[in-house]
Amino acid sequence: MDFSKLTDAIASRSYDKIADICDQLMLQIASQGVAFQDEWPYAVHLLGHIYLNDLNSARFLWKSIPVSIKESRPEVVAIWKIGQQLWTRNYAERYTRRMFELLMSAYSTISIQDTALFLGMNENEATSYVLQHGWTVDAASQMFTVKKHTVVTEQKIDPSKLQRLTEYVFHLEH
């Protein structure tokens, strides 16, 4: 198996491409009828989906991993535990990060008290958290000035990938 694209993506820190590369490689290898389960980098593949917040794909991948792999690779099980926590929405840090992103998109200035309330922290923790992310504080007015970030989101599946998947499934069925 040639994992050079995957290795290149990891080396260039293009973590957002890992899941897509793994999905394509898995389809390509499976279509050739090659047994790949023992050598497949399931940990990296799962992390790629979790990094993209594509929990449905991560869950589907987890269900497709053979039991022997789950029993022999504790890192895969540990990664899935993270995925489970995200799936069940049992997360504090993720909530904080998401709420922080919402605050950045909604406010240009916000009070320290409101920020602490939204982030679920006390005022000192909230101040430390937002200052680490580039916000500035006006001590006189007790207000933060929000540093805006551009948030880019892309659609997970484009029509060409969906068409290829449809053709692949059709080929398997007929």
pLDDT in tens, 119-168: 988 999 999 999 999 999 998 999 999 988 765 666 666 778 888 888 88
pLDDT band at 5 (very low <50, low <70, confident <90, very high): very high
pLDDT in tens, 58-110: 999 999 999 999 999 999 999 999 888 888 876 677 778 889 989 998 999 99
pLDDT band at 174 (very low <50, low <70, confident <90, very high): confident
- Domains (range + CATH), the chain: 4-90 (no CATH), 92-174 (1.10.10.10)
pLDDT in tens, 7-54: 999 999 999 999 999 999 999 988 888 888 888 899 999 999 999 989
Task: Specify the pLDDT at position 150.
Answer: 64
Burial label for 150, CB within 10 Å (0-12, 13-18, 19+), is exposed
Task: Specify the pLDDT at position 165.
Answer: 83
Between 82 and 111, the more confident residue is 111
Q: From the CA atom positions of the chain, what is the Rg in Å?
A: 21
Task: Specify the pLDDT at position 161.
Answer: 80
Its sign, for the CA torsion 80, 9, 149, 105, is negative
Burial label for 28, CB within 10 Å (0-12, 13-18, 19+), is middle
